[in-house]
Amino acid sequence: ILSKLQTFTQPMILIPGNHDQCSAGINEFHSLTPLQHAYRVDHGRLPGLLIFSHPTIFQRALWIPHIRSPAIVESVLQRDHDEHPIQAVFCHADVTGAYMNDNILSQGGVPPKLFPPNIPIYSGHFHKPHVVQQQNRTIEYLGSPYEISLSEAQQAKALVVLDGSTWECIERIPLNLG
């Protein structure tokens, strides 16, 4: 993986998910840690990979890694962002009403109404690509890039390409892996 990453020329942002964490708390140590120095961009001046292990505002977006406690995620979402307005949210979160698989909706997690309205919101965590819409909030679960198990058979997987200035989807590239 490190050898392949060294061929990359574009920067990448990663947030740890629940399967990346080594412990139940929020910390800097997770399975993504070895990748943080994998490659550089801009003639070696900048790191190619940015890994946000804590909630971070960057490029007008709020980046939230997986946090086990919905109450902590709620407190992050309810912070005053007036000083640094956000235009998108990227998270790895359990959202109430999201599909955990093809048949089961999440009853726990963070209520959609706590997310900022009228901006793109993208989440990982659940492998099924789908959208949760509620009260001017659209939370898009991007899903896993390939079928992890037979329970995901026939799910339409895709690579989603975003415009870095608006965070809107500009292309969906179908993936057929797994």
For residue range 90-124, what is the model confidence (pLDDT) as tens digits?
999 999 999 999 999 999 999 999 999 999 999 99
- Do residues 65 and 54 make contact, with C-beta atoms less than 8 angstroms apart? yes
Q: How many CA atoms lie within 13 A of 157 on its CB side?
A: 16
Give per-residue pLDDT as tens, 35-44. Answer: 988 999 999 9
Q: How confident is the model at residue 84 (pLDDT cuts 50, 70, 90)?
A: confident
pLDDT at residue number 123: 97
How far is C-alpha 134 from the chain's CA centre? 19
pLDDT at residue number 25: 59
Cα three-residue angle 12-113-155, rounded to 5 degrees? 55
Residue with tokens 């895709």: 158
Bridge partners of 95, per DSSP, are: 110
β-pairing verdict for 88-91 and 61-64: parallel
Element (H, E) at 62: strand 61-64
pLDDT at residue number 24: 63
